[in-house]
Amino acid sequence: MTATTPPPAAGGRPAVGPRPPVPATAGGVGVGGAVLLVATRIGLWLVVQLGLAGLLLLAGAAAAGQALDEVAGWWLVYAGLVELGTLGVIGWLLRREGGSYRDLLGPPTAAWAVAVGALGVLAATLPAVVFSGELTSAVYGQGAIAPMFAIVDLPPWASVLSVVVVPLLAELAEPVAFLGVVLPRLEQRLGRPWLAATIVVAVWAAEHACFPLLASGGGLDWEFAAYRVGSVLPYLAIWTAAYYALGRRLLPIMAARWVFNCGSALALALGLVQ
């Protein structure tokens, strides 16, 4: 898979793009690897947050009903641990099944094409931004800030981490995991790309219910969890569609997401989101 231009499919019709290499074991260990990757991410989100909340409780630094919310204020930082864990599993899968990290990113793409593609992906993300904003207003009131941003409370050094390091780790791990590893394995297993893409978007969105965990009325804030899934769903659907539209090239999507996530973290760090 070194062609810059996707080869035409049968009948001279241009294909969406060459499917990334999936190991011969994709029907078995391949899908198992995808499940392991998703389970690791969800498990890490839960373990890190509940673990930190438990530590706060043990140290007496937070009351029982406040520990989760205290921890949630740091989610833009401890997200880095989840991304590192994801990269670890991706590396383990690559060693076990063969292939390289570069293969997961799709066909070679010139720097200018990555930049143009990223601009296109950013423009295509606008409807998701608008939808998410309207959903936030409907659930939390006109002009309200989304709770996952409103709750962020970091000292300067941690803000630097959340702007410089974590968004980079997130782009190296998250889209590569879902679009570069999980999606092709599901496509190969199911034989229907649209079904595989739908499942990936649904699971990817559902994962967002796990972070940050917020408390409400002595339990988890399920309304926020549902809102989080609903608000992120259009973003993930658009990015997955863009992955196909760009011939399974991940770099433009990673670049656009980095601009988006880094910009959000920077706006929070600078206090521009009030």
Partner 1 sequence: MHSRILYRLTWLALVLSLGHHLDHLIRGNAVGWPVTDEVNAFTASLIVYPIIITGLLLYHAGRVGPGFWALVSGGGAAFVAAVHFGPAAVEPPELILDHYDQPMLGWLAFGWLVVFVSVLAITCLYETRLWASQRQARHVAQPAPDAEAGR
User: 131, 140, 149, 258: which one contacts partner 1 (CB under 8 A)?
Assistant: 131
Cis previous bond, 20, omega within 30: no
Q: Compute the least distance from the CB of residue 110 to partner 1, in Å.
A: 10
Cα separation, 243 vs 104, in Å, equals 12
Residue appearing with tokens 């406040």? 66
What angle, 0 to 180 degrees and rounded to 10, lies between the N-to-C axes of helices 111-124 and 126-140? 30
What angle, 0 to 180 degrees and rounded to 10, lies between the N-to-C axes of helices 75-97 and 166-175? 40
Q: Is 245 in the site for partner 1 (CB under 8 A)?
A: yes
Q: Compute the least distance from the CB of residue 76 to partner 1, in Å.
A: 26
12-31 residues in contact with partner 1 (CB under 8 A) are 12-14, 16
Residue 62: which residues within 8 A CB-CB, separation 6 or more?
53, 56, 70
Binding window for partner 1 (CB under 8 A); candidates: 1-9, 159-167, 183-191, 262-270: 1-9
Q: Over the range 33-49, which residues count as b (16 or more CB within 10 Å of their CB) and which as e?
A: bbebbbebbbebbeebb
Binding window for partner 1 (CB under 8 A); candidates: 2-10, 26-34, 159-167, 172-180: 2-10
66-125 residues in contact with partner 1 (CB under 8 A) are 113, 117, 120-121, 123-124
Binding window for partner 1 (CB under 8 A); candidates: 67-75, 155-163, 188-196, 230-238: 230-238
Nearer to partner 1, 47 or 267 (CB): 267
Q: Is 5 in the site for partner 1 (CB under 8 A)?
A: yes
Q: Compute the least distance from the CB of residue 241 to partner 1, in Å.
A: 5
What angle, 0 to 180 degrees and rounded to 10, lies between the N-to-C axes of helices 222-245 and 126-140? 170
Q: Is 134 in the site for partner 1 (CB under 8 A)?
A: yes
Nearer to partner 1, 92 or 244 (CB): 244
Q: Compute the least distance from the CB of residue 35 to partner 1, in Å.
A: 28
Residue appearing with tokens 């399974």? 248
Q: Compute the least distance from the CB of residue 128 to partner 1, in Å.
A: 7
Q: Over the range 215-240, which residues count as b (16 or more CB within 10 Å of their CB) and which as e?
A: beeeeebeebbebbbbbbbbbbbbbb
Q: Distance of alpha carbon 34 from its chain centroid, rounded?
A: 15
Nearer to partner 1, 4 or 28 (CB): 4
Q: Is 197 in the site for partner 1 (CB under 8 A)?
A: no
Interaction site with partner 1 (CB under 8 A): 4-6, 8, 12-14, 16, 113, 117, 120-121, 123-124, 126-128, 130-131, 134, 138, 234, 237-238, 241-242, 244-247
